[in-house]
Amino acid sequence: MTFTPPAEFITRPDLVGRFGMTSSTHWIATGTAQSVLERGGTAFDAAVAGGFVLHLVEPHLNGPGGDLVGIFAAVEQPGRPRVLMGQGPAPAGATVEHLRAEGLDLVPGAGALAAAVPGAVDAWLLLLRDHGTWELADVLAYALAVARDGHPLSPGAARTIATVAELFREAWPTSAERWLVDGAAPEAGQVVRNEAWASVLDRLVAAGGDAADGLEGEDARRARIDAARDEWAGGFVARMVDASVRTPHRHSTGTDHAGVIRASDMAAFRASVEDAVTTTFRGRTIAKAGAWSQGPALLQMLAILDPLPDERLDPSTVAGAHTVLETIKLALADREAYYGDHAVALDPLLSSAYAAERRALIGPRASAELRPGAAMPAGALPPLRIEYAPPERQPAFAGVGEPTVRSAEGVVAPTGETRGDTVHIDVVDRWGNTISVTPSGGWLQSSPHIPELGFCLGTRMQMTWLDEESASGLAPGRRPRTTLTPTLVLQDGEPVAALGSPGGDQQDQWQLLYLLRTIVGGYTPQQAIDAPALHTTSFPSSFWPRTWTPAGVVAEDRLGEDVLRGLEALGHRVIRSGDWSLGRLSVVTRDPGSGLLGAAANPRGGQAHAAGR
């Protein structure tokens, strides 16, 4: 290898253990998953328990009305990485014609008109049914305790509520009642509870009460979980969602609209499990979700970079950072042209011949173009807006994006500092079961709170275009092309790492840095997570208002002034984001030879944790 971690990182050990390891974006969720492992649960039991807790303790980053993507390896299916698909589709009433008739030219970034069918809850329950071992009541006991007894509001959640407090007071009264105290935002550390959601969880458990009559053991456990899934999709939750969205309310465009999601849309959706898409990079197999996510873009990046000399893959140098940034642009341009919820032929996009064609486009200077390749017939390219004003030219409000909120000056900063991102959890157990899940959507600022349910809907449809010719165009029953994109790394068919990151369009960019630094550079997982991060914004954002910055780069100052100035000299438009502002990764690892387990988590923001024993 020709690049190594800087000296200040070398002495920091990773957390290691032999019985089970967990990392997540919140300490309560990490502790929940660890408790399940210590009580004999599997990685899948632990992930589900931690996931339901994340809905509560990170309400500004995810919720039950949102979605998730997971990737896992089960010991009973060796060498077969699998994807947990928890991305709901567009409702039947979500048509291009309807939104254009509402005076819109983009799907809004906040408000129920942007809501896809919630997918996270059913996906968690499916994982528990097919790969877990615990009863639903036991897994949900942790979330029920947090909902009823309360938890301290995190500083990030408090800041988010303060930012959207005026919106809540003026336009979303149910959200104001839920989150404001005498009309003001709560303080960080204040104990918050969610009795409405606790009651929903109780009713889901109760739905399985008679479902197992005449059944025993595993058959009875699975039947109880299926009954809860049926109640979620076709019972009181679906009815309340349907009723709640029919009242017009303020959207990110500054205009009022009703949502179109109906109980029938909820009833028609079920989460699923599918085979992962893989490629080989430097002796490792990298597994991702399909092209209904952005996951294959990371595989394209690795295919382009693989034959290059090691020094060209070091993100801490001018030459390496330039090469990595230009590679990312090429892969994400293909994402815009090809990816979506349809039959995407990935073999041409991931072939070595196509990677060579794309590699040849990496020039000595930064590209300011969107350059998809010609691997196959592409959809219409999106409009390349540097700025955007809603058609009504009314002021938009905070609470849009993934999930970005406006700063005190009223400007959305393109750095990591004002992004809430989303949440993430990784778990590996003593038997080698390994899972990485990124839940998102349904954050408290995405749409009005539903008092009877204790949550609000997500806004994932903002990732579609109001253009039938686009690969990711809006269509009823079609899943939005999500940014959620966890990663599984295997060696000789066995999982050796599961990782992921919040961060919208940055998720695979930051994971690419991690893979290059660990696989090529020899960094430990914690060193790779701690190392200075950067990403490009030179492609259309997946989030409203869908703008881009040609040749744009956001980088941590710790990358060094020489590197940052060197990138600027090559034509990159660099925004310095501060020393510890970018990257949200967490990871769990397993050594197949020794069985030793490890975990590492992001120190930025002081929120993510890794645990094990």
Nearest to 436, CA basis, from 481, 505, 490:
490
Q: Is residue 544 part of a domain?
A: yes
**Whole-angstrom distance, CA of residue 482 vs CA of residue 187:** 33
**Residue 63, pLDDT score:** 97
**pLDDT tens-place string over residues 289-339:** 999 999 999 999 999 999 999 999 999 999 999 999 999 999 999 999 999
Which of 89-98, 185-194, 208-217 is predicted least confidently?
Answer: 208-217
Q: Is residue 146 part of a domain?
A: yes
Q: Is residue 369 part of a domain?
A: no
201-223 b/e (C-beta count within 10 Å ≥ 16 → b): beebbebbeebbeeeeeeeebbb
The average confidence (pLDDT) of the chain is: 92
Q: Is residue 347 part of a domain?
A: no
Q: Is residue 518 part of a domain?
A: yes
**Residue 468, pLDDT score:** 86
Average pLDDT over residues 81-103: 98
Residue of 341 and 7 predicted with greater confidence: 341
- Banded pLDDT at 92 (limits 50, 70, 90): very high
Counting every residue, how long is the chain? Answer: 613
Which distant-in-sequence residues (6+ apart) come within 8 Å of 455 by Cβ?
55, 63, 64, 65, 197, 442, 449
**pLDDT tens-place string over residues 397-428:** 444 445 544 433 333 332 222 334 699 999 99
Dihedral angle sign, alpha carbons of residues 86, 89, 91, 92: negative
How much is the CA Rg of the chain, to the nearest whole Å?
A: 23
Average pLDDT over residues 94-109: 96
Residue 154 pLDDT greater than 70, yes or no: yes
Contact between 484 and 228 under an 8 Å Cβ cutoff? The reply is no
Residue 531 pLDDT greater than 60, yes or no: yes
Q: Is residue 454 part of a domain?
A: yes
Q: Quickly count: other Cβ atoms within 10 Å of residue 549's Cβ.
A: 17
For the record, the structure tokens of 421 come out as 């991102």
Average pLDDT over residues 243-257: 96
Structural domain count, the chain: 1
**Residue 408, pLDDT score:** 34
**Whole-angstrom distance, CA of residue 23 vs CA of residue 30:** 6
**Whole-angstrom distance, CA of residue 313 vs CA of residue 310:** 5
Q: How big, in percent rounded to 5, are the helix, strand and coil portions of the chain?
A: 35, 15, 45
Q: What order do you get walking across the sheet with 277-281 strand by strand? A: 15-17, 597-601, 586-590, 494-500, 487-491, 284-288, 277-281
DSSP string, 270-289: --EEEEPEEEEETTEEEEE-
Residue 613 pLDDT greater than 80, yes or no: no
Average pLDDT over residues 31-47: 96
Nearest to 58, CA basis, from 344, 413, 440:
440
**pLDDT tens-place string over residues 462-518:** 999 999 899 999 999 999 999 999 999 999 999 999 999 999 999 999 999 999 999
Q: Is residue 248 part of a domain?
A: yes
Domain range enclosing 412: 7-150+193-275+386-612
Q: Is residue 161 part of a domain?
A: no
First-to-final CA distance of the chain: 32
**Residue 389, pLDDT score:** 76
For the record, the structure tokens of 108 come out as 């809004």
Whole-model pTM: value is 0.94
**Whole-angstrom distance, CA of residue 64 vs CA of residue 175:** 16
CATH number, position 499: 3.60.20.40
